[in-house]
Amino acid sequence: MSERMPVVFVSHGAPDAVLNAADTVDCWRELGRQIPLPSAILVISAHWEANRPTVSLASAPETLHDFSGFAPALHRIRYPAPGAPALAKRVVALLSDAGVTAESHPSRGLDHGAWVPLTAMYPEAQVPVTQLALVRNAGAAAHVALGQALAPLRDEGVLILGSGAITHNFDWLDWHADGEAVPSQKARQFSDWVGAHLAAQDGPAMLAYRSAPHGAEAHPSEEHFMPLYVALGAADGDKPQRYQPRFTYGGLSMDAYLWRSGQLRPA
């Protein structure tokens, strides 16, 4: 028997976190050390949305540099992990069993929400990876339901990785701030609100996060918060461990969460 696979959520920050946010990179490395080596990874990133759940069948997913205005060194990074088409087909089947119509994409690559944290978590790029798109404008409850449908993957050695942001308001950012900058009070307060309500396993409060202090401000649009809800659904009632790297650019909370049950699955 072996351990049931944990579930992880990371705040991936700006794309240059992998170059400039050493504290966050250390956190991602530690998460990689804490988790048994997965058979495959399913990433739910804020940077892929579709009208219905869509999963990539790419056998050798391209590293997508889906941003501009950052250092050339960032554009030179490649994450050559193999794809996971068998996992993609399993995702479609699980969602179908839950009454959710899902689609597949033949070649969609890994956006920076996926490869930026994975370069630290699994730097050898040896674990097969595929991505599942968020459902555009579906809201928190629908994404919790997606995670619940995908929870059986944890017993099949699959790491479910949500990658988004605990805070994502560009008006809160100081692009000249370094890692020692005092974070925005609003960003800190909302980040701590999330931490407290996840620790309390207060599902109703989390679903109503836009009524929380600074909740609507923290996410002028919701896509960067939705990967957290997929992870929350897949966590299946497990309690989270909170990681708190330093804020980046003064307003991006880089909090990460690890849900680990300690339950065993067949080896």
CATH code where residue 144 lies:
3.40.830.10
Residue 2 belongs to some domain of the structure:
no
Residue 57 domain-assigned? yes
For the beta carbon of residue 97, count every other beta carbon within 10 angstroms. 10
Q: pLDDT at position 2, please?
A: 66
Domain span including residue 30: 10-164+194-254
| Number of domains, the chain | 1
Q: Give the span between the Cα atoms of 194 and 188, in whole angstroms.
A: 10
Do 78 and 31 meet the contact criterion of CB atoms below 8 Å apart?
no
Q: Each residue of 195-228: b (16+ CB within 10 Å) or e?
A: bebbeeeebebbeebeebebbebbbeebbbbbbb
Residue 27 has φ and ψ, to the nearest 5°, of: -60, -45
Q: Give the chain's residues under pLDDT 50.
A: 1, 264, 266-267
Looking at residue 179, what is its pLDDT?
64
Tokens of residue 145, six digits? 């339901």
pTM for this entry: 0.96
107 lies in a domain?
A: yes
The neighbouring-strand residues paired with 63 are: 110
Domain presence at residue 5: no
Residues 6+ positions from 49 with CB-CB distance below 8 Å: 133, 134, 135, 136, 223
Q: Within a domain: residue 39? A: yes
pLDDT computed for residue 262 by the predictor: 67
Max Cα–Cα distance, the chain, nearest Å: 50
